[in-house]
Amino acid sequence: MVSQGEAERAIKSTCHLFKMKKKYLSPFKVSIIGVGLIGGSFGLALRKKRLIKQVIGIGRHIHKLQEAKRLGAVDKYTTDFGRGVKDSDIVMIATPVIKTPLIVKRILPHLKDGCIITDVGSTKGWVVKKVEQTISEFSRKGKVRNVSFIGGHPMAGSERESVRNARADIFSGTTCVLTPTDRKAGKAVKIVRDIWSGIGARILVLEPEEHDYLVAYTSHLPHVLATSLVNLIGKLIREDSRTSRIIAGSISDMTRIAASNPEMWADICLSNASAISKSIDVMVKYLEKFKRSIVRRRKKELENIFERGRLARRKLVGREI
């Protein structure tokens, strides 16, 4: 006689084999607008995990889309935005944040009832407000029905651009912030959440304004500081070329992210201007305090500042430096 435990293991094994035989876990069709580093990585992850039925790449440059297809980030591609989103269940917008509302306005007339729009933008308050206004206007005119927007921001990326640097595992173990605002969009939120979880991300749900306040410190301010520092060093090199011969490794460590896309980061600063400005004000106060300790030659204060920084850094990375 077969024991209950053996029977349960047999059932699980059969279910596992059934899932393995399926070509995909969901019949969804996903369109990705902007198949660069993040959009391309999203497509690669979806296809590697077989989470959805089909990935469509959409963009303005045919050669970039062809490369995305060659690298396996998409199943098909098109430069026709209307055709690309037709009959899609989910549309992922992976472009600079300033362009997101304009793209939504462009594709709305072509979306099917029940379509979910989401994005990967680094700012949320301004984007969510503009997109929801656009959807609301189209709804009042009867041009679109039951379309949801679920703001998203995967805390992953690189200063390197293009689909050539895309990786299927780039989101694994990282946090993806979702900023839903429509209480009626529970089903859409669950679908977006499940997709991000399916490719290895941990989900954190925040209000758009909460997101923008926090990432101003954890992401946007570091880019401002890195760019300011490397510009300062560049000025010194122009004034005295010997400077380039005595650059320490700390400059490379601190300024790597300054190699990021200038247009993208200008858009981020403008779309999260208030929170970033406040974070800069706070940083200036920290630097002024640091400066006072140096000018007044207070060694104990300096030691305490450096020690707090060392301990904070250790907690941030979760290991000994």
pTM of the model: 0.85
Same fold: 4-206 with 211-317: no
CATH architecture of structural domain 4-206: 3-Layer(aba) Sandwich (3.40)
pLDDT of residue 300: 97
What is the chain's pLDDT, residue by residue, as a tens digit (321 residues)?
435 454 444 434 434 433 444 566 678 999 999 999 999 999 999 999 999 999 999 999 999 999 999 999 999 999 999 999 999 999 999 999 999 999 999 999 999 999 999 999 999 999 999 999 999 998 888 877 789 999 999 998 776 778 999 999 999 999 999 999 988 889 999 999 999 999 999 999 999 999 999 999 999 999 999 999 999 999 999 999 999 999 888 888 888 889 888 988 999 999 999 999 999 999 999 999 999 999 999 999 999 999 999 999 998 876 443
- The per-residue DSSP string of 63-117 comes to HHHHHHHHHTS-SEEES-HHHHHTT-SEEEE-S-GGGHHHHHHHHGGGPPTT-EE
Q: Per-domain residue ranges for the chain?
A: 4-206, 211-317
Place of tokens 């969510």: 128
Contacts by residues 55-59 (CB-CB < 8 Å, ≥ 24 positions apart):
55/30, 55/31, 56/29, 56/30, 56/31, 56/32, 56/84, 56/85, 56/88, 57/31, 57/32, 57/84, 58/31, 58/32, 58/33, 58/34, 58/84, 58/85, 59/33, 59/34, 59/35
pLDDT of residue 39: 96
Q: Does domain 211-317 have CATH number 1.10.3660.10?
A: yes
User: DSSP strand E in the chain: where?
Assistant: 29-33, 54-58, 76-78, 90-93, 116-119, 148-154, 175-179, 202-205
